[in-house]
Amino acid sequence: MKKLVVLGGGISGYGSAILARRKGFDVFLSDSGRIADRYRMKLEAWGVPYEEGGHSEERILAASECVKSPGIPDSAPIVRKLRERGVPVISEIEFAGRYLDGARTICITGSNGKTTTTSLVYRILRDAGCNVALGGNIGESFAYSVATGRYDWYVLELSSFQLDGMFRFRADIGVLTNITPDHLDRYDHSFAKYAAAKMRIAQNQRAGDYFIYSADDETIWSLLPSYRLPQRQLPFAARAAVAGSDGDAFLSRDGRFTAAVGDRSVEIDTRRMRIGGLHNAYNAMAAALAALAAGVLGTTGVESADMIRALAAHLNPDAIVAVDALACAELGRLGRTVQLTDTGITPGSGVGNNRAGLSRDTLGIPVAAIGLPTVIDAGGFSDDPRAEQMFVTPRDIDTVVRDAAKLIGYGINLALHDGLTIGDVDMFLS
């Protein structure tokens, strides 16, 4: 019986261990820290032997293969020792991908926008009646879904850390939203190494597969000539004049885009979307191309409350943290203040465009809301009567959103996990 060791007892680790158990491996899970109670209960229910609070090196090094959780860096001593022994160290994605039994995958990565894009793709396929699972960095563990369910499609959000341990796995449809410098400590502070890790999303793809990418992203565009890409390419853009022979999506000045893949197409007016901003237009274009590549036709509206309600039903969380953009009346508040409430939030209310509220009443669980002012009421600083009907977005909105996302992300993680440092948070994000 093949011996498999799983390093890390988080969501990726326990999922891999249960899949290994299901497939008849002699599996052992080891975590240098404490395993959460809910994960420990799953391991015990499946009869998976495990340890926590340290590594039994002799037992670990006797394994024939190791599945490493993405939060564990390659520089960890136990990982180095495994590789010195010649033991293959792979990711959960690589391991679970061996047991798809004909199912197909849509894999999304990027420095920004991958969670939104993944959620959109999942919802479109689900609403279209597809037998689809949500996994990777969002939803359930990919490996656990493979072990306990039978799906036709897996929609996966993947970090660069997960892609690092991917060797033979391939995405039927790969999506790369963008590449920007972030969390480079894991890559020897080399942006080139980090970018190469993100490009692994296209690794091993065949002629019949799809690679969806932003043609507006200068890093992606500069890297493409360095790769032999036999798969069908589907670029999306708002600025670059680019067209793909297999399909593409382009955002016009009037806020509309047409996404086309072969003879399938869909037109979306982004001004009618419930999630605004250029970054979400990019996410919507990527999601539309992915859905069309998967064979889905039709038009799907995007309502924040519906999306969150669907995700909540799938994930069964104890609470929801909702983050929304706000309108403000003073320039001094723009991108510089944060609103916190425990009563939920109504998206769009600040600009007179109320949407379905996100609250305990509408979602059935507590909702903590975080709001950041990203637009300003033009009537507050202009005498022009027309300004009273206008809201202005700052020129550096992308920077404001990025910095705010980092601030809020760090704050949530540090608040929820006692003893966690900023360095710890950096290690788990990519």
pLDDT tens sequence across 141-151: 999 999 999 99
Which residue bears the tokens 């507590």? 366
For the chain, the distance separating the N- and C-terminal CA atoms, rounded to the nearest angstrom, is: 36
Q: How confident is the model at residue 429 (pLDDT cuts 50, 70, 90)?
A: low
Residues 213/282/245/295 CA torsion (nearest 10 deg):
90
Could you give all domains of the chain from N- to C-terminal order, each with its CATH number?
3-90 (3.40.50.720), 100-293 (3.40.1190.10), 317-428 (no CATH)
The whole-number pLDDT of residue 23 equals 95
The whole-number pLDDT of residue 314 equals 57
The whole-number pLDDT of residue 176 equals 97
Cβ(90)–Cβ(79) below 8 Å: no
The whole-number pLDDT of residue 309 equals 67
The whole-number pLDDT of residue 201 equals 95
Q: Tell me what the mean pLDDT of segment 281-307 comes to.
A: 74
At 199-228, the pLDDT tens digits run 999 999 999 999 999 999 999 999 999 999
Quick check: helix, strand or coil at residue 108?
strand
Query: pTM for the full model?
Result: 0.71
Q: Tell me what the mean pLDDT of segment 260-282 comes to.
A: 80
Q: Tell me what the mean pLDDT of segment 262-277 comes to.
A: 77
Which residue bears the tokens 């637009």? 375
At 106-148, the pLDDT tens digits run 999 999 889 999 999 998 888 888 899 999 888 889 999 999 9
- 33-37, 281-285, 358-362, range with the lowest pLDDT: 358-362
Whole-angstrom distance, CA of residue 121 vs CA of residue 311: 12
CA dihedral sign, ordered 278, 280, 283, 287: negative
Tokens of 242: 């680019």
Whole-angstrom distance, CA of residue 251 vs CA of residue 282: 8
**Cα-to-chain-centroid distance, residue 96:** 18
Whole-angstrom distance, CA of residue 131 vs CA of residue 265: 22
